[in-house]
Copies of this chain bind each other. A is one copy, B any other.
Amino acid sequence: MAFSEFRRLDEKSLADYIKSVPSLSSKLFGNGSLDDELTIKEVGDGNLNFVYIVLSSRGGSAVIKQALPYIRSIGESWPITKERAYFESTALKEHRRWSPNHAPEVYHFDRTMSLIGMRYLEPPHIVLRKGLIAGLEYPLLAEHISDYMAKTLFHTSLLYHSTLEHKRAVAEFCGNAELCRHTLQVVFSDPFKVSQYNHWTSPYLDQDAEAIRNDNALKLEVAELKSKFSERAQALIHADLHTGSVMVTQESTQVIDHEFAFYGPMGFDIGAFLGNLILAYFSQEGHANDQNDRKKYKEWILRTIEDTWNFFHKKFIALWDEHKDGSGEAYLPAIYNNAELRHLAQQKFIQELFHDTLGFGAAKMIRRIVGVAHVEDFESISDASKRAYCERRALGLAKVLLKERRKFQAISQVVSAIQQSAKESNMLRRVNSGRSWVLPVIEGAARSGWAVGLKVWLFLGAAVRWGNGSIWQ
């Protein structure tokens, strides 16, 4: 039952398809009869694809994902190439090559059908975002996701690649241009202009959305990030690494949904993950109730943000040290020929990556509040005024992170900023139900440059080391 041209499968035709494909039928039926019963359930809850869980009566399982030539959540009015399935399977396999514990096995890929067969991430795996909404802690999350990010980003960059293999890989993933264009539109364009697709918690955030569209300093920084996203082929990035692209249990962390993958800036992946954790943090107040004030959970989220970056940093540098005499052509050992110089080069590299991470993370936060696709963290807060309150806090912080990212020197300062802005606004909320004064002050600092910024930072108690005119600045 090979198809010579694309057709959308349903539960019935999928069963027939599976039986005709040895790499799938062997996973489901072993060496047994193909007449055993299959249970097939469509579970796709994302924006883009149809996803089926397939179970056989003898305990075999698989997930089948089929891409359609339009965005599922919007319909045929927003076409998007189904060729993305090719890039998804290629990227997933490449990422699994480097981080086999944190990306599921691909059993089968059919380019004609835009169909991927892969490991079924069995219960109790759930989407991380849903765990964050439910207030569940994942003690190994930071350890695992930092492993995934460090290994996939390092090994697909010029720190590991030769120039020739890098250019070859970059060229291939240029083919995923339609998906890049989609990201450019929804992350870097639509939120900053009037667009039919934008929406927000109205009327509460009407002025906030308008303020974003009128914020020149913000739009200038967004242009810089957009150009980095469009032009800088630093590593094979997942390019959609939010908390909905990660499946978790207490022991397992699995990254899925690689259809946006291409050679882009590393900070886009790290920023997507951290930015979505920050959104989760700001949404917690909307999920707090008399049984659980979520205070301890918020602390766990902050610890996970801090650990994720710090573990990533450590693992990435360890890989760099390990491979310093390897095939990577970015820093030749004959030039970067002593430990001090290599350390300086690493510091400079990580500093830029950190600022990229904050910028991209902030852009991803903004787009989830005033752009087309929102996050369940906020959407599941049914009281609109409470939701808007949470979203406004997140938006305020995101604007500061984006515009002032170069002033942050360590992730602990970011955590302090999150914490402090939430604390002050809570304090204020107790005496006054109006808007907090803290974020306007930070935003004011962002506008008026370092002098006011310094005062705000001293006020926030963050250990800011100011740029000293050295080459690190």
Contacts and interface: CB of A to CB of B under 8 A. Distances in A.
Contact of A403 (B221, B224, B471): B471
Contacts of A189: 332, 334-335
A169 to B, nearest CB: 9
A471 B167 CA distance: 33
A269 to B, nearest CB: 16
Contacts of A331: 223
Given A234-B231, A335-B219, A403-B471, A164 B181 contact: yes
A175 B168 CA distance: 7
B168 A171 contact: no
A231 B230 contact: no
A367 B316 CA distance: 32
A164 B192 CA distance: 21
B175 A171 contact: yes
A345 B170 CA distance: 28
A335 B177 contact: no
Interface residues of A, number: 58
Interface in A201-253: 216-217, 219-224, 226-227, 230-234
A467 B470 CA distance: 12
A221 B330 contact: no
Contact of A220 (B216, B217, B344, B468): B344
Contacts of A470: 449
A441 interface: no
Contact of A171 (B164, B171, B193): B171
A39 B180 CA distance: 53
A157 to B, nearest CB: 9
Contacts of A167: 174-175, 177, 180
B180 A163 contact: yes
Interface in A262-297: none
Given A171-B174, A335-B219, A230 B330 contact: yes
A226 to B, nearest CB: 7
A151 interface: no
A173 to B, nearest CB: 9
A381 B178 CA distance: 55
A197 interface: no
A223 to B, nearest CB: 6
A174 B177 contact: no
A119 to B, nearest CB: 31
A158 interface: yes
Contacts of A180: 163, 167
Contacts of A170: 170-171, 174
A223 B223 CA distance: 24
A193 B172 CA distance: 33
A163 to B, nearest CB: 4
A336 interface: yes
Q: Which of A219, A335, A449 is packed against the most chain B CB atoms within 10 Å? A: A335
Contacts of A164: 177-178, 181
Interface string A446-473: 0001110100000000000001111100
A226 B330 contact: yes
B233 A341 contact: no
A73 interface: no
Given A330-B230, A449-B469, A216 B340 contact: yes
Contacts of A231: 158, 232-234
Contacts of A174: 167-168, 170-171, 174
B192 A335 contact: yes
A348 interface: yes
Contact of A348 (B168, B224, B337): B224
A372 interface: no
* Across the A-B interface, the 5 shortest Cβ-Cβ residue pairs: A171-B174, A450-B469, A167-B177, A193-B334, A167-B174
15 contacts: A158-B231, A168-B174, A170-B171, A171-B175, A174-B174, A193-B337, A219-B336, A223-B330, A223-B336, A227-B234, A232-B233, A449-B468, A449-B470, A450-B469, A453-B469
Given A168-B174, A223-B336, 12 more contacts: A167-B180, A170-B171, A171-B174, A171-B175, A174-B174, A184-B329, A194-B334, A220-B344, A223-B331, A231-B234, A449-B469, A467-B469
